[in-house]
Structure 1
Amino acid sequence: MAGAGTAELLLGCTVALAASVQWLTGMGFALIAVPVLVLLLGPAQGVVLANCAAGVISVVGLAGGWRRVRPAAMVPLVVAAACTVPAGSWAAARLPEPVLLAGVGTLVALAVALVMAGARIPALTGTGGAVTAGAVGGFMNSAAGVGGPPYSLYALNAGWSVREFVPNAQFYGIAVNVFSVAVNGVPRLSGPAWAVTVTAMVAGALVGRALAPRARERAVRRLIYALALAGGFSVLVKGLLEMV
């Protein structure tokens, strides 16, 4: 019982922290939450829980900024993601758990490293760049729960401001997570785990909303990157150890 209580406490703290960051920046939930959720619930359930939670938070966040969504850029992203989500789900369902753990950890760490480096990639510009980012993001989201970094790289190469980035990130998050949940299903959690998750999402959103006017964007992003790298490497190490 103590072990279950500890796991639920860690689940709640992780979801609350990730939800507050998602509210502040428009994305980041999966980068922070997926490594911990995968370790707590296993790769399959951890990924689908991240998909569900990130999608719900994006819906709430977009309510006040939907007028700033760029349809011309987002339609190719979303359509491309819809095409590759089934492939990511198919791959994840057929890989052994240690391999999937190592893959999730590697994807998280690599994605964060590219975003941190501010990678300028000519292929991620224009409509072709949107299609490429959406296709990669859709696959990563359904396979590993982290579909945001390709979108971030596309927005970076497009020179979008934070004001443009956040609502479009939320729109993209809604679409790609709806696709992923449609393919992968909803997580199978106990009643107490669902209660903890929902409560933590609400608490995290309230904290993020309260901090938003005072938070420094650079400091928040550094926090996201540090936590995501630590989590990604921990999942990678666990997968490698289980292989051995």
Structure 2
Amino acid sequence: MTDEWVGQLLLAVIVLLGSSVQWLTGMGFALVAVPALVLVLGPAEGVVLANCAAGVISVVGLTDGWRRVRLGAMVPLCVAAVCTVPVGTWVARRLSEPALMATMGVLVTAAVVLVMRGARVRALRGGGGALVAGGVGGFMNSAAGLGGPPVSLYALNADWTVREFVPNAQFYGVVVNAVSIASNGLPDLAAPVWGLAAGAMAVGALVGRALAGRVPEERVRLLVLLLALGGGLSALGKGLWELWM
């Protein structure tokens, strides 16, 4: 088996796993997939492919939950994200690949640790908190493909339930990923790779829906965070190693 086939197989597994988690819990694709996609495809292509996949999943998921979207909270979140997405793109394009890899590793690891600790942050409350969370999320989404954790922390500090959070996170995901793709451009991938990713997403959706309600949500959430933490540390380690070499 050639290195190209191995890479494509890894990509399919990563997308399938991320899609399964997203459909199982309503979130988590980027946390699971981005660190691994970055290691397989490199920072630039990995981030934009994650933006594309997460955006499609958010669109499909929102078809059932759009009535529960809190526009009063989401408008400032999304407006702030739209303003900071180009900044994330600008920063990412000016860093070398090892530096970008290390930076993404730091961002992923820090985001996971904050979410795992359930951090309560006064700056993330109210209208001002929505602007902060949306702005940080937009920057992180375009630079590192990981715009969800700041919004998760905002929802935590606003005492949203999971039922309230999921459709609003999907609405945010549609907006921020669409703007990130417009800012970063589409990944330069061959047609078979696009087909493989689309097929893996479809299979992942079937797996996630089949497991929904059968697997305790807290266990899945912990697994997602541990996988993301491991991926973030791996990306950080690889980036620092290449910088040192």
Q: Same fold (TM over 0.5)?
A: yes
1:228 corresponds in structure 2 to 228
* Matched AA of 1:176: V
1:189 corresponds in structure 2 to 189
Partner-residue secondary structure (3-state), 2:64:
coil
Shift of 1:210: 1.3
Shift of 1:215: 2.4
Correspondences of 1:1-244 after superposition (within 5 Å): 2-244=2-244
Tell me, in whole angstroms, the C-alpha distance in 2 between the residues paired with 1:237 and 1:61.
Answer: 34
Post-superposition CA distance 1:144-199 (Å, at most 9, x none): 00000000000000000010011111111111000100100111111221111010
Shift of 1:40: 1.1
> How big is the alpha-carbon RMSD for the aligned residues of Structure 1 and Structure 2?
0.8
Tell me, in whole angstroms, the C-alpha distance in 1 between the residues paired with 2:206 and 2:76.
Answer: 32
* Matched AA of 1:39: L
* Matched AA of 1:198: A
Q: How many residues align?
A: 244
Shift of 1:25: 2.2
The share of aligned pairs that are identical, in percent, is: 66
Report the TM-score when normalising by structure 2. Answer: 0.98
Tell me, in whole angstroms, the C-alpha distance in 1 between the residues paired with 2:50 and 2:59.
Answer: 14
Structure 1: tracts of 5 or more residues without a match: none
* Matched AA of 1:174: V
List, as ranges, runs of 4+ consecutive aligned residues in structure 1 with deviation greater than 3 Å.
Answer: none
Tell me, in whole angstroms, the C-alpha distance in 1 between the residues paired with 2:184 and 2:37.
Answer: 16
Tell me, in whole angstroms, the C-alpha distance in 2 between the residues paired with 1:93 and 1:27.
Answer: 27
Tell me, in whole angstroms, the C-alpha distance in 2 between the residues paired with 1:23 and 1:173.
Answer: 14
